[in-house]
Amino acid sequence: MKKEKLEEILQYFLDYLSVERGLAENSIISYRYDLVKYLDFLKQKKINSFQKIDKELLGNYLLYLKKRGLGVNSISRNLVALKMFYRFMLAEDFIQEDVSKIIEFPRLSKKLPYVLSQREVNKLLDYSNFSGELGLRDLAILELLYATGMRVSELINLTIEDINLENQMLKCMGKGGKERIIPFGSKAGQALTGYLKGSRERLIKDTQEKVLFLNSRGNKLTRQGIFYLLKRYLQKAGINKKATPHTLRHSLATHLLENGADLRSVQEMLGHADISTTQIYTHVSRKWVQEEYYRAFPRK
């Protein structure tokens, strides 16, 4: 049986997720964030070996997470990370028994994704909200996020070679290094053309730069930059709702299904491994229909 420090074993696990499982960097950061909490808990208990952990201690860890004010969904995510970690340690001979098998997950609250209405999206993407060179870029970014349902991490890593304006398609590298081809509409195509012809060439500092969307210094945009950008244009459009770039992804999926799109097609477009993840948007759609019914029904 191998004897290593707690932190070393955690790093072996993170390397395994990266190299063998091919998980994206953001996913690995999330696993590390969750498991560092577990290591902090063990240190408080003066435990320096995973061999000394029993079922009672794991039960105490669940109480520890609750006392830290974590919600049911956050606790469940932490426990998923813990179970994967223990399976890894057992397979790699760091432990003799997987005591995490006794953990029961708390019942998850099925929270529906938050979406913007089609009217709100149109209001956000109104051309009058965007001006100047950076306005051309920002319009292209928001049009593309909504038109394709891409994750922010996928969008900021796009290169000019990933875009096919003629066929209105793009190549996107998703979670786990899985590539997918996504179509986009004429509005997004027009916005991209405007950015490429009227803005990107002026933002470039290095002529060899292939990244599609650049900041004012000629560097790749950050996730935080996209979040700030959307917040600013929501305010400009007079939309008083808290929304993130992921809200545009949720909104697209909901609007496609509302307008008759095939569930499997939406699954493929969004890059969901499991169709049950896509199915939640059908519930969002039904909820919206119900709300509209009660708002408009004449016999109150």
The catalytically annotated residue of 86, 146, 233, 281 is 281
**3-state SS string for 211-224:** ECCECCCCCECCHH
Last residue in a domain, options 60, 78, 102:
102
pLDDT at 23: 75
**Are 80 and 162 members of one domain?**
no
**Are 156 and 66 members of one domain?**
no
Is 1 a member of any domain? no
Other CB atoms within 10 A of residue 274 CB: 8
Identify which has the larger pLDDT, 279 or 126. 126
Mean residue pLDDT of the chain comes to: 82
**Are 189 and 225 members of one domain?**
yes
272 catalytic, yes or no?
A: yes
- Token pair of 294, please? 């009660």
**Are 123 and 237 members of one domain?**
yes
Exposed e or buried b per residue across 115-138, where buried means at least 16 C-beta atoms within 10 angstroms of its C-beta: bbeeebbeebbeeebbeeebbbbb
Give 53's pLDDT tier (boundaries 50, 70, 90).
confident
**Are 126 and 47 members of one domain?**
no
The catalytically annotated residue of 38, 137, 146, 151 is 151
Tally of helices (H runs) and strands (E runs) in the chain: 13, 3
Q: Does position 297 have pLDDT exceeding 50, yes or no?
A: no
Range of the domain at 77: 6-102
281 catalytic, yes or no?
A: yes
pLDDT at 290: 47
**Are 82 and 230 members of one domain?**
no
- Say if CB 134 and CB 41 are below 8 A apart: no
Identify which has the larger pLDDT, 289 or 248. 248
Last residue in a domain, options 54, 70, 102:
102
- Give the mean pLDDT of 185-209: 90
Which CATH number is 289's domain given? 1.10.443.10
The catalytically annotated residue of 77, 83, 175, 187 is 175
> What's the predicted TM-score (pTM) here?
0.58
Q: Distance (Å, rounded) from C-alpha 142 to C-alpha 53?
A: 49
**Are 158 and 47 members of one domain?**
no
> pLDDT tens across 253-272, in order?
888 777 776 666 666 667 66
Provide the domain count of the chain: 2
249 catalytic, yes or no?
A: yes
> pLDDT tens across 265-295, in order?
666 667 665 555 555 655 555 554 445 444 5
